[in-house]
Amino acid sequence: MSMGHSADRSFIGLVIEDAKAFMSAITGVVPAPIRHQANEMAHRLARFALRSDGSRSWFEEPPDFLADLLVIECLG
C-alpha cells in the first residue's frame, strides 16, 4: 500500500483485493476493460438475481431474458 492511502475495507474493496490476489497468482492474467455490450449477459443475470427471492437453475432452455442475447452470440 502506498503512503497516504488507506485500505478500502468496504465489502467491495475486500472483493477487489481478493480478485487482485487471485489474478497475481495466475501467470499471464491481465485485466482489460470490456465494452458494455459485451457485458450485457452478466448485467441481465445480476439484475435478475437482485430481484429474485430464491435460487434458480436452467439446464435445457435458457431463461427468456437471455434468449435474444444467446441467439446474437451464436450468430456473431
Residue 2 has pLDDT above 60, yes or no: no
pLDDT in tens, 28-76: 888 888 777 778 888 899 999 999 988 888 899 999 999 998 888 888 7
State how far the Cα of 69 lies from the Cα of 61, in Å rounded to an integer: 13
Q: Among 13, 7, 70, which Cα is nearest to 44's? A: 70
- 55 contacts 34 by C-beta, under 8 angstroms: no
Is 0.75 topped by the overall pTM? Answer: no
Q: Among 11, 41, 16, which Cα is nearest to 31's? A: 16
Q: Residue 51: what pLDDT?
A: 92
- 63 contacts 42 by C-beta, under 8 angstroms: no
